[in-house]
Amino acid sequence: MTLADKLKKLRIKHKMSMSQVARLSESASDHRGKITQGYISRLESGKETNPSLMKLMTLCGIYKVEPNELFLKSIGKKSKKR
């Protein structure tokens, strides 16, 4: 599952529109964490593939997930320890 797929799945799971996520990002403590609706659209469509750490942290705060969860193979599942 790609980062784009995970972000979209999280947004839908939280029953939010892109504009709602963008509005919530306006309360980010750092202006670099603010996200526009258009940027969310580009992230979810895979057109934007290199979001800043601040933007990822903002999204993690909105969706209430840890940043590493965005990079696991699937949401909600722990990776196997070796």
Amino acid at 29: S
pLDDT at 13: 96
The residue behind tokens 């403590």 is 29
For residue 69, pLDDT over 80 is answered with yes
pTM > 0.75: yes
DSSP state of 79: P
Per-residue pLDDT band for 31 (boundaries 50, 70, 90) equals confident
Per-residue pLDDT band for 82 (boundaries 50, 70, 90) equals very low
Q: From CA 30, how far away is CA 48, in angstroms rounded?
A: 21
DSSP state of 74: S
Q: From CA 29, how far away is CA 16, in angstroms rounded?
A: 21
| CATH fit for domain 3-64, picks 3.40.50.150, 3.90.110.10, 1.10.1740.10, 1.10.260.40 | 1.10.260.40
Amino acid at 4: A
